[in-house]
Amino acid sequence: MSGDLTRLTAHAMAVGLRAGDFTAEELATAHLDAIEAEDRALGAWLAVDRTEVLVQAHAADATLDLARRVGPAMSATLHPLHGVPVALKDLVSVRGGRCTAGSRILAGYTSPYDAHITERLRAVGAVILGKTNMDEFAMGSSTEHSAYGPTSNPWDLDRVPGGSSGGSAAAVAAYHAPVAIGTDTGGSVRQPASLCGIVGMKPTYGRVSRYGVVAFASSLDQVGPLARDARDAAALLHAVAGRDDRDSTSAPIPVPDGLLSLPDSDDEAAAGIRGLRLGLPREYFVAGMEPGTEARIREAVTLLEAAGATVEEVSLPHTDYGIAAYYIVASAEASANLARYDGIRFGLARRGGDVLEDYLATRGEGFGPEAKRRIMLGTYALSAGYYDAFYGKAQKVRTLIKADFDAVWAAGVDAIVAPTSPSVAWRLGAKLDDPVAMYLTDVCTLPVNMAGLPGASIPAGLSDGLPVGLQLIGRPWSELELLRLARGFEGITAGAPWRGVEPPGLAALRSASSPRPADRAAALGAGDR
């Protein structure tokens, strides 16, 4: 029963819980047992408190029992995630729990309050399983920059899961959780979703409150859902989205209830594609894109056309400037946000010298190489004499990138379809010696963050046995329309052979002889970096 329960979708779990086929406690236990047995070889989790999880599950069961006694009217008021396990990236505050953001500098820190999204998940009765691994302060594309070791990809344990939300993506792909929370600053939900073969969405900037979420780049960060299908992603987004007065960037835009009513039927979902006008940006088929990745994306476009969509080539001419502008803006904001980690107020503290010596010792030991690299770059870009030349100019380029998208929407295009990542998952350590090569893996995702738009990655097939993601980009506040399109693509590919393929790495996860991700990285020559 344990294996069967972990492989249910969240919406199937909701049906079973309401029918009394199993309890929230049984559901939580099945996932806890899988984590305990398999995470040694996966490295997706940083903290799981079995006792606390079962307390939450017991409370969810009490409400479910009451609903069954009262009748269907009360059951209908329960959110689809009531009693369903959810994973949180380890930069989301949970009262009384750890929150390290993947960094040594927050080792030992205990959050005194819940993030807004944690409050929302508790309010709908979701069961929070624990905290997942991530690149330090969300700075990375492979989850190799975590101070607590790398995470493996369930499709091939020698490969990365993407990042920075790689722990959340790997946990969902490995059936450790049906849904998970990630954050997306330049692609950190969509890119790991692509590499792990699941659904990931970056909502419109301001759709989800950032209160209680550790900041990387405040004008780019956005919380988003990871799930194994579009319906589950929609349900998780519905649970956490909405206005929060504690976050001034949180928008007072109503959350559409349609997120909870995506079509059950594949045929009905597929019918929603008919008549859509989709744009295919020529600039997103970048030099160096793997042939297998490009082939899967073009096959997906052909399927959308066959389902009744019109696909036309569009141009986003300032895409080529996106990486340079993004890394200036993101690093500048990171430099400002990470200044608070000084060894005085919270987290790691090194003592023994004067104030300056303690400050330098704390930050020198607490931050990893990638965080230091971005702090230095951002501080330089903000320094006197360089602010206008770098940061100011990058913000102007950002305006041009947004104008490119606005022109596409003005031409009547409903959504953009594009690759999520120019490659499938690469081997652990393959890009650690070349930060620029690592940065280039986000070339297709980061323009969406620069423009503040919603974007999603959905599975589009396999290349050499590894997942390829199709990216969907929409107008501001069009999350429902994008998820309907994602559900439609699921409908037209429901019979595709690749839909039934489970990650091959799952078989090795329960083996006691299977190496830890850090040991795999060391064996591949990446362990000392």
User: What pLDDT, in 10s, does the model give residues 454-509?
Assistant: 999 999 999 999 999 999 999 999 999 999 999 999 999 999 999 999 999 999 99
Q: What percent of the chain has pLDDT over 70?
A: 99
pTM, full prediction: 0.97
Question: Up-side HSE of residue 469: CA atoms within 13 Å toward CB?
Answer: 36
Mean pLDDT, rounded, of the chain: 96
Print burial letters for 40-79: b (CB count within 10 Å at least 16), e (below 16).
Answer: bbbbbbbbbbeebbbebbebbbebbeebeeeeeeebeebb
Cα 131 from Cα 139, distance rounded (Å):
17
Complete domains list, the chain, with CATH:
2-261+273-320+398-523 (3.90.1300.10), 321-380 (no CATH)
pLDDT in tens, 222-269: 999 999 999 999 999 999 999 999 999 999 999 999 999 999 999 999
Question: Up-side HSE of residue 391: CA atoms within 13 Å toward CB?
Answer: 19
pLDDT band at 528 (very low <50, low <70, confident <90, very high): very low
pLDDT of 355 above 80: yes
pLDDT of 345 above 90: no
Residue ranges of the alpha helices (H) in 106-165? 116-123
Can you tell me which residue has the tokens 């008919």? 274
In this prediction, residue 385 carries a pLDDT of: 87
In this prediction, residue 90 carries a pLDDT of: 98
pLDDT band at 512 (very low <50, low <70, confident <90, very high): confident
From 75, 89, 152, 514, active-site residue: 89
pLDDT of 125 above 60: yes
pLDDT in tens, 60-117: 999 999 999 999 999 999 999 999 999 999 999 999 999 999 999 999 999 999 999 9
164 part of the active site: yes
pLDDT band at 16 (very low <50, low <70, confident <90, very high): very high
261 part of the active site: no
From the number of C-beta atoms within 10 Å of its C-beta (0-12, 13-18, 19+), residue 112 rates as: exposed
Cα 209 from Cα 504, distance rounded (Å):
36
Cα 484 from Cα 259, distance rounded (Å):
9
In this prediction, residue 286 carries a pLDDT of: 85
Q: What is the 3-state secondary structure (H, E, C) of 194-238?
A: HHHCCEEEECCCCCCCCCCECCCCCCCCCEEEEECCHHHHHHHHH
DSSP state of 151: -
H or E element in which residue 460 lies: strand 455-463
Q: What beta strand segments (E) does 149-308 contain?
A: 179-183, 199-202, 223-227, 277-281
From the number of C-beta atoms within 10 Å of its C-beta (0-12, 13-18, 19+), residue 437 rates as: middle
From 93, 103, 152, 164, active-site residue: 164
From 75, 188, 335, 421, active-site residue: 188
Query: Is the distance from CB of 525 to CB of 430 less than 8 angstroms?
Result: no
188 part of the active site: yes
Distance of CA 518 to the CA centre of its chain: 22
